[in-house]
Amino acid sequence: MTRFWLVAVTVIPMLVTSSDLLAQRRPNAGQDIQKVIPMRERVQIMQHFWDWKKGNVLPAIMREQGVDMWIVRSDEQPEYRQASYKEGPFYTSLLPANHEGMVLASQYEEGSRIPEFLLFFDTGEEIEYVQPRDYAHIGELVRARDPRTIAISQTNNEPMLKVLGEYASRAVNSWALGVRWLETMGPEQISVYRYVQGVANDLIAEGFSNKAIIPDVTTVEDLNWWFRHRMLDLHIEKENHPTIGIQRKPANIEKYAAEDSPEFFRNGGRSDNGMNPTIRRGDIVSLDSDIMLLGMVTDSHQHAYVLEEGETDVPEELKEALRIVNRMQDRFAAEFQYGRTGIEIERAAAQILREEGVIDSNLGFHPPPMFLRRFTVNGLMFSRGTWVSGLGSGSGYKLHKVVSNEHTLNYNTLYAFEPHTRVAVAGWGDRGVELGIGQIAVFAQDGLKYLDRAQPDDQWHIIR
């Protein structure tokens, strides 16, 4: 079976090209944050995405994987990144719900009980959905449809294998099918993800300005909580507490030693979360943060420079450092080639020639966390956590149940693309400055493309 299904299957069209995504920051920067969508509409949009995927992605990936029947259990081992949550992402995202994300009750139980089993069968013309009552009913449905290949979870599956009987020999692990289901994005999802990344970029631009920072007054924790409160104002959720650090030149570490302990900067002149130095003139302020919106999570690493007294612009040597970093980003992006595994991409990236001035540079990437807002009919939140599913880098990301560095790169998939590069800059010590730019990128037929490129060329955020 051909692996080029996303090219051949017309129901999943070519989604994006480099001209769609724009290599540079879009001209309407600052406008995405002006139109954050109300919560009810967000849930409806999320549900629309998944309904579209069931009608278009599901048949394509079942045929790609050579699977006739997929049986999903409500008690499969949770595959969430936050593994304490009960429901797994395959089950959660395939469960029937109305247009506002209200999970539909089981066909066989009174009250609000939800289905325990979901069964999808490829008739050759469509994907038939059947809701089994129990294990015995599954056996009846399988014998009536006589599937060639049945995808099931490999976790606690003894009752399933028993009821399949002679069909147990046709069972395969549903892992690959489930990962392909979760990682493959529809055209509207990718378009909207550009908007979500734009909101994140606009938010960071606000925080990395004099709207939020007064040099020699604002502390790192002040800024951290400014971001948290601004997200609250906008009704934007987040997965993690923002991480803000300061990179400070050795001369300024000494200059401000009485107010900001040099212990804050033991990590090569850089502070970490949990420390609270004051943001000083001449500092580089770095942020690692995310927002959660419309079922999508960003992962942004960006940097601002605080002008010294008498400076009207970022020093040329720091501008050149950012140019070097962006060129390295593009070289890493070029190593994303269809069919490569995460390990192969990282190995190829390690062979890239580092240009003069680069102290070290390494590629890290992982699928962005996603989530689905759903509720039971009695009003309880059903889906509570995020999941991460798909292709991760060889060693640069902690692998989880449904993230693998041996998985292959496929079209219409998205990544938190976060290479880290340190560049030698005069006056900044032996470790130089670290200016890795983290952002969401999509892999399409014309390669890996940034959805809303953060800090292109030499575009620093400037605090005056």
In a domain, 152, yes or no: yes
In a domain, 148, yes or no: yes
Q: Is the pTM of this model over 0.85?
A: yes
Please report, for the domain that includes residue 156, its CATH number: 3.40.350
Distance from C-alpha of 177 to C-alpha of 65, rounded to nearest angstrom:
7
The pLDDT, as a whole number, for residue 28 is 63
**Which has the minimum average pLDDT: 38-47, 94-103, 106-115?**
106-115
The pLDDT, as a whole number, for residue 13 is 38
Quote the tokens at residue 109: 């139980």
Residue with tokens 């629309």: 48
* Confidence tier at 111 by pLDDT (50, 70, 90): low
pLDDT at 434 over 50: yes
In a domain, 289, yes or no: no
- For residue range 64-93, list pLDDT tens digits in order: 999 999 999 988 866 555 544 567 889 999
In a domain, 388, yes or no: no
In a domain, 83, yes or no: yes
- For residue range 127-172, list pLDDT tens digits in order: 999 999 999 999 999 999 999 999 999 988 999 999 999 999 999 9
The pLDDT, as a whole number, for residue 356 is 93
pLDDT at 12 over 60: no
In a domain, 86, yes or no: yes
The pLDDT, as a whole number, for residue 384 is 74
DSSP 314-345: --HHHHHHHHHHHHHHHHHHTT--TT-BHHHH
Looking at residues 290-305, what average pLDDT do you find?
96
Enclosing domain of residue 168: 44-181
- For residue range 226-239, list pLDDT tens digits in order: 999 999 999 999 98
The pLDDT, as a whole number, for residue 2 is 31
In a domain, 439, yes or no: no
How many CA atoms, within 13 angstroms, populate the side-chain half-sphere of residue 286? 19
In a domain, 305, yes or no: no
The pLDDT, as a whole number, for residue 387 is 85
Q: What total of structural domains would you count in the chain? A: 1
Looking at residues 264-289, what average pLDDT do you find?
89
CA R_g for the chain: 24
